[in-house]
């Protein structure tokens, strides 16, 4: 993986199946190295009522106890472009 430190562990190969409420099912392939996971769609299938999505790219990263993610879609006749980004943090109720 480009930009990885020389002493970083070797990337691991991943195959991931993602089913979404939008009516899409996709097979992704990618790698995990350290706290980062990179996935690219290999096949995308959809129901008759789902919108046309022909490709996806996803990145997940673990940074200081939080999960960051980025999703890119090729859909609606457009090339791959940013669709969603976000951050997941652990919720700790007040007084806990």
Q: Is 8 inside a domain boundary?
A: no
Q: Is 28 inside a domain boundary?
A: yes
Q: Is 3 inside a domain boundary?
A: no
Backbone angles phi, psi at 56, to 5 degrees: -145, 155
In this predicted structure, what is the pLDDT of residue 5?
54
Q: Is 52 inside a domain boundary?
A: yes
In this predicted structure, what is the pLDDT of residue 11?
57
- pTM of the complete model: 0.79
Q: Is 54 inside a domain boundary?
A: yes
Q: Who's near 74: CB < 8 A, 6+ residues apart?
A: 53, 54, 55, 56, 80, 81
Q: Which residue range is the domain that position 67 belongs to?
A: 13-88
Q: Is 29 inside a domain boundary?
A: yes
In this predicted structure, what is the pLDDT of residue 10?
60
CATH number of the domain at 18, please.
2.40.128.20
In this predicted structure, what is the pLDDT of residue 1?
37
Q: What is the pLDDT along the chain (96 residues), one digit of tens a residue?
A: 344 555 655 656 999 999 999 999 999 999 999 999 999 999 999 999 999 999 999 999 999 999 999 999 999 999 999 999 999 998 888 887
How many residues can be counted in the chain?
A: 96
In this predicted structure, what is the pLDDT of residue 23?
96
């Amino acid at each position: 993986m480009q930009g990885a430190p020389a002493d970083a562990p070797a990337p691991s190969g991943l195959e991931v199946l993602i089913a979404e409420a939008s009516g899409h099912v996709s097979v992704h392939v990618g790698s995990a190295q350290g706290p980062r996971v990179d996935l690219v769609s290999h096949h995308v299938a959809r129901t008759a009522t789902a919108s046309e999505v022909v490709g996806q790219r996803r990145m997940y990263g673990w940074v200081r106890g939080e999960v960051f993610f980025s999703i890119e879609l090729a859909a609606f006749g457009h090339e791959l472009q940013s669709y969603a980004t976000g951050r997941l943090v652990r919720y700790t109720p007040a007084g806990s």
